A and B are shown apart, each in its own frame.
Chain A
Amino acid sequence: MTVEVKDLKKMFFDPKRGEFLAVDGISFNCSQGEIVGLLGPNGAGKTTTLRMIATILRPDSGTAKVNGFEITADPQSVRKNLGFLSSETGLYERLTPREILNYFGQLSDYPLDKLEQRIEDLIKLFEMKEFADTRCERLSTGMKQKVSIARAIVHDPPVMALDEPTSGLDIITSQNTYQFIRDSKAQGKCIIFSTHIMSEAEKLCDRIGIIHRGKLFAMGTLEELRQLTGAHYLEDIFLAIVKEQVDV
């Protein structure tokens, strides 16, 4: 397994709610060439789960391994093996796309002698030649999204953690992102993908996990989830699972 998540827990505190488990014992795994989707409403715990896998946050308990490296024991190796992309992440406005790719390539220990070629390949792949040397503050949203994706994979990681990557994007830019995710799958990458958009999950994911209030209620292929709930559309499947679990 390229990503193994076991019983991850993370406690948050809110003056109104007191202490609560934002992630409550989530376990799943993801293999090479597979897209696993984490589907849930806002505040379900998807982002916190991905942030723990990406070593931004430390879990209170539980563990996760990325390409064999444990997230708390060897975070540096986890980071070398992981590409992280989120709708909330921005770009350095005063740097050009080429400079950003160069910066993250160097930080990620990508071999210096091959880095220039790698950047050229990415510029060609994402059709960024026209604006590769323009400061990011002058780029359109679509152009910025391309730079963000290229930035996430400049060190050619085997695992991708994508946190609602299309949130706030128009339909054309979203399509580019979908294409990138499919291409990555074809290259054999392991992709964990969080979203609250049902259609996205339906289209892209090999397996879908239903997350609500910090818990992973079900995980399976679309067909398996249909069989589990008897519903056809993902929206109905989601509601059926969440309603049943919360009622209990």
Chain B
Amino acid sequence: MSSSATPSSNYKPMSKTWIVFFKELKEVLRDYRTLIMMIIIPTLFYPAMLVFPATFAKQSIARLGQNTVSIGIVGDCEPLKKRLEQAEHLKVRPVNEADYVEKLKSNEIDVAILVPTEFSAAISKDFTTEPEFSYLKKATLPALKLVLDTNREKVLFSMASVYAAIGEFQEDYIKKRLKALNVGDVWERDTKVTFNDVSPKQSETDDMLPQFAPYLMILMVLLATSYPAIDLITGERQRGTLALLLVAPVERRSIMYGKIMVVVMVGALTTILGIVSIAATLQFGPVKTSVVDAHPQFDFSLTAWLLVLLVMSPLVVFISSLSVYVAAMTRTFQQAQGYLFPMLLVTLFLASAAQIPELADNAFLRIVPIANTTLCIKQIITRHQSWSGIAITFVSSAIAAVLLARSAAGLLQREDLLMGVQLSPQKKMQTGSYGRELVVFGGIVFFMLFYFGQLLSLWNVMASLVITQIFLILCPALVFLRYTRSPVRETLSLKRPSPRFVLAAISLGFATVVLSMLILTVQTKFLPYSEEYAKQMQLMVMPPGRPLWQIILVAALMPAICEEFFFRGVLQGILRKNLPKQKLIIVIGILFGIFHMSMFRIIPTGLLGILLAYLTLASGSIFPSMCLHFMHNAYYLWASYYKIELDSTLCISLAFGGLVIAGLALGWKPAKQEGK
């Protein structure tokens, strides 16, 4: 008998990942559905989406513009009447003040032009005898009033001929008069400049392309990657081939990485084909004149498209990993398709954040995947991009993509997902297997804070702080605690702390504020922020006209209780079951930094979060971190309220003293008492 038992030291994980990759690629390329989404849709459908509506609208408007418009002139102005009669596609019908409304209703005429007596008078006036010399005043004609039924599309689209004829009439009149004054050239030159600068038709807000293009890109990747992800993971499970892989001598992570790589490849190819075909359509297609040439303020150059591709590349990995993650959570195709719709909604929701001007200005948006990329693509197309913006978008998306890919790769380790093995709530708590629930919970709280928190703060700063702390932070934390049926005292670390930790926490409060300011000062050299932002931040925590005690109550005491319950209580209490101590402290710190939703505050608040997490873990109690959090906020508010500079000798001395006392308190371990 032959025994193929080879020693496991020969095992090379990377080579196995490639074996899985090539096999999956072969399968994907043999699936016509993936090929359609990957090749046909981006090369034909997306450009067609740009070409057809634009071409169709253009032709339709042109066709409608050919219609003859019946005009009734109410009032006496023979030169205007003659001019309109000469114009193409216009027919002047006799009307008077008494019957023009009836005739409009019965469609006998399409437009009524009401000529005021001043207009007729201005035309027939001999302006050269006027005493003052103000050529523009003399040359300008009083306004005409047009009456029409705006529900009639035919009339609306044909109005161009009416405006053109009236405009030409006015222009001729003005030119003639300016010529008589010998200032015709001056007027023409001035008008041209003014016209080019302020006309709303040239403004970027009027065109949908910069808004639409990023959506299209993200939708394209999401639709292209979701099917292969479901097919390669959910499909494998449903067809019963996953078990074959699980009994083959290959690491489960290698299997997942092989699959993620194929999905990323599909997403990347779709993006490249999509961008190339859209760029080619805009450059050489029938919409070149109406889209590219008509909007010189948009950048459709090769460099712009390459930049779009650059910022899209980490997002492709992110969305592919997201698709794989979602697919790994589902057991059947139907279930996976059910998950796809909410995923699409969340993705488009994030993409839409960049379109809201108030949110687009928020620096935090730069590090939110999907939202930052849509914003970046929009800015590239409208020539508003900055290199630092592109770099931050790329790096933050890449970090998010790597984290998500790693997380997705670990899902094959989970028996509940693999074989439908359910864990009891007690066991889930023991093993800390609440990853899925935590992601959903964190996502909901994050979105609520991001949207409702910002909206509330626009309404009333103090009220928004109270509502946010109680209803968006404390309540969700307690609901989650109840949902997981976690033991309250143990999870929240509700234990009487050793006095030395309380002393350390209180004295550290004097140091952390000064250290945060130092970090911000150094950081500003690399990541400067505007004065407007600093002012907004100040207003957020220090609403004017409020007494100090109220501000400390709302902006120091409440966060110290509510945020500590959320981060050091529920999150840390649940995550400590499945994360080693060092990782746990860092993860809690990073989450705490991100939670403050400002790119500029991530580092100082993240470091403070790490310190708070350490204090809770070291003391076994949540109260020292509450003390430090309170001291940090209250001290900062006090200093701001009395306009005391944090780099003054007093503050630096207090910080130094605080550090020394905290060091002594934390370093001093009374062996006997500790045991008790």
Mark the stretch among A10-18, A210-218, A224-232, A240-248 that contacts chain B.
A10-18
Q: Is the CB of A67 within 8 A of B3?
A: yes
Mark the stretch among A74-82, A175-183, A201-209 that contacts chain B.
A74-82
Closest chain-A Cβ to B484's Cβ sits at a distance in Å of: 15
CA distance A95 to B11 in the complex (A): 25
Nearest B residue to A32, CB-CB: B1
Q: Is the CB of B422 within 8 A of A14?
A: yes
CA distance A94 to B8 in the complex (A): 31
Mark the stretch among B69-77, B348-356, B413-421, B594-602 that contacts chain A.
B413-421
Verify if A165 is at the interface (C-beta below 8 Å from B): no
For A69, A108, A109, A156, which residue has the most chain B Cβ atoms within 10 angstroms?
Answer: A109
CA distance A128 to B492 in the complex (A): 63
Interface of A is mostly: loop
Q: Is the CB of A158 within 8 A of B5?
A: yes
Verify if A170 is at the interface (C-beta below 8 Å from B): no
Q: Is the CB of A80 within 8 A of B4?
A: yes
Closest chain-A Cβ to B578's Cβ sits at a distance in Å of: 15
Nearest B residue to A158, CB-CB: B3
Q: Is the CB of B247 within 8 A of A76?
A: no
Can you list, as one digit per residue, whether each of B18-36 has a CB less than 8 Å from chain A (1) or not (0)? 0110010011001100000
Q: Which residues of chain B are within 8 angstroms of A158 by Cβ–Cβ distance?
A: 1-5
Enumerate A130-172 residues with CB–CB distance to B below 8 Å.
135, 151, 155-158
Verify if B670 is at the interface (C-beta below 8 Å from A): no
Q: Which residues of chain B are within 8 angstroms of A61 by Cβ–Cβ distance?
A: none
Q: Which residues of chain B are within 8 angstroms of A13 by Cβ–Cβ distance?
A: 422-424, 427
Verify if A125 is at the interface (C-beta below 8 Å from B): no
Enumerate B385-421 residues with CB–CB distance to A below 8 Å.
415, 418-419, 421
Nearest A residue to B10, CB-CB: A109
Contacts A67-B3, A107-B248 given; does A80 touch B8 at CB 8 Å: yes
Closest chain-B Cβ to A108's Cβ sits at a distance in Å of: 6
The one of A18, A19, A80, A103 that contacts B249, using a Cβ cutoff of 8 Å: A80
Give the size range of B's interface with the partner: 35 or more
Verify if B335 is at the interface (C-beta below 8 Å from A): no
Q: Which residues of chain A are within 8 angstroms of B4 by Cβ–Cβ distance?
A: 80-81, 108, 110, 155-158
Q: Is the CB of A12 within 8 A of B19?
A: no
Enumerate A67-92 residues with CB–CB distance to B below 8 Å.
67-69, 74, 76-77, 79-82, 84, 86, 88-92
CA distance A187 to B5 in the complex (A): 16
Verify if B296 is at the interface (C-beta below 8 Å from A): no
Contacts A58-B415, A103-B19 given; does A89 touch B240 at CB 8 Å: yes
Q: Is the CB of A89 within 8 A of B248?
A: no
Verify if B7 is at the interface (C-beta below 8 Å from A): yes
Q: Is the CB of A107 within 8 A of B250?
A: yes
Verify if A237 is at the interface (C-beta below 8 Å from B): no
Nearest A residue to B30, CB-CB: A94
Contacts A81-B3, A109-B10, A109-B249 given; does A56 touch B239 at CB 8 Å: no
CA distance A88 to B424 in the complex (A): 26
Verify if B138 is at the interface (C-beta below 8 Å from A): no
Q: Is the CB of A76 within 8 A of B243?
A: no
Closest chain-A Cβ to B23's Cβ sits at a distance in Å of: 5
Q: Which residues of chain A are within 8 angstroms of B246 by Cβ–Cβ distance?
A: 54-56
For B5, B27, B427, which residue has the most chain A Cβ atoms within 10 angstroms?
Answer: B5
Besides A56-B243, A109-B6, A109-B10, 13 new A-B residue pairs in contact (Cβ under 8 A), listed by A number: A12-B422, A15-B422, A18-B424, A55-B246, A76-B249, A79-B250, A89-B243, A91-B239, A92-B23, A92-B27, A95-B23, A104-B244, A156-B2
The 10 closest A-B pairs by CB, nearest first: A90-B240, A188-B1, A79-B249, A13-B424, A84-B247, A90-B239, A107-B248, A94-B30, A13-B422, A158-B3
